[in-house]
Amino acid sequence: MVLHNKIDKRILKEKMLTATEERMTISFYKYHQIAEPKNFRDELYVLLDSLGVMGRIYVAHEGVNAQISLPKNNFEAFREKLYSVSFLQGIRLNIAVDDNGKSFFKLKIQVRKKIVADGLDDSTFDVTQTGVHVNAKDFNALAENPNTIIIDMRNHYESEVGHFKGAVLPDVDTFREELQVAEDLLRDNKDKNLLMYCTGGIRCEKASAWMKHKGFKNVFQLNGGIIEYTRQVKEQGLENKFIGKNFVFDERLGERISEDIVSVCHQCGTACDDHTNCKNDGCHLLFIQCKTCAEQFNHCCSEECKEIIALPEDVQKELRKGINKGRQVFKKGRSEKMIYRKVSHQTPSIL
């Protein structure tokens, strides 16, 4: 049996976009020692593929991290099969709030060294000594406390389009950088309440333990992240302290949480929070673009890229041969092509 998809991604994407079945987007994670990640990966692929699941999943010795979509009518069967895996029994499933289910177009499960690239040597501290998990109601109460510092544990392109009011927003490209920057920013405030949050909670699991290891005494983390917070706020009629969009790593690139627009088009400066990737496959830069600029630049980040996509496909392929952009596509805040780029976040006072 072939345990990966071999169909051209463009065909799969077109099929996903034109499908009429109702789908839902879900994320989940679990830190757990997996003795044979490759075997677990193959077993998980068979289990999920049979239910029409699409998505991106990372498996490592330290656990599993998943962002997926599946047909709504398969949800109960999916949950039953997932919970049949002993260490995943009862795991929290974060269900997307602003979603049509067309978030992924194939199933991709990879074995990695870690389920989140944090750059930490886990043997140097106790990763199980995490911060206190708080729900939406308790998060709001802590946020009102003048002795609390709220810190966003996501990357700059995530917090730029949405964040909690009054949060410290480190201007970083990766989670690996985030940990050191957060420690440096807050080193003189180790007696304050440190309230951490991220998209679905996984980054805070490791980050909160690290900050406790570094001497921060009162560390709290938003249980389930922004996704679960939003669900609880709506369900319980609580005040929503998150403004803007929640950036997500799938085809949607964002979930609308509030109607506030806190960022601008990187090409003209108009209020906008719609992320896109440059249409030139040799660039593929992630940036914010309004509809007017999308039309003017033919969905590209620059006149240069606009000219390139007008060339014959074989010429384009030759131009991008051997180019691997990797994580460079996320460095939109540093790109010289962007006129209205946010060079750095204004960090709120933490005194």
Catalytically active residues are 198
Structure tokens belonging to residue 177:
């950088």
* DSSP secondary structure, 44-95, as one string: HHHHHHTTT-EEEEEEETTEEEEEEEEEGGGHHHHHHHHHTSGGGTT---EE
Side-chain half-sphere exposure of 70, counting CA atoms within 13 A = 24
Of the candidates 139, 126, 107, 86, the residue with the CA atom closest to the CA atom of residue 41: 107
Please tell me what DSSP assigns to residue 304.
H
Please tell me what DSSP assigns to residue 285.
-
Burial of 141 (0-12, 13-18, 19+ CB in 10 A): exposed
Side-chain half-sphere exposure of 267, counting CA atoms within 13 A = 23
Contact 293, 285 (CB under 8 A): no
Please give the Cα distance from 12 to 5 (Å, whole number): 10
The number of residues making up the chain comes to 351
Task: Indicate the pairing of strand 54-60 with strand 107-111.
Answer: parallel
Please give the Cα distance from 10 to 258 (Å, whole number): 32
Please give the Cα distance from 325 to 32 (Å, whole number): 32
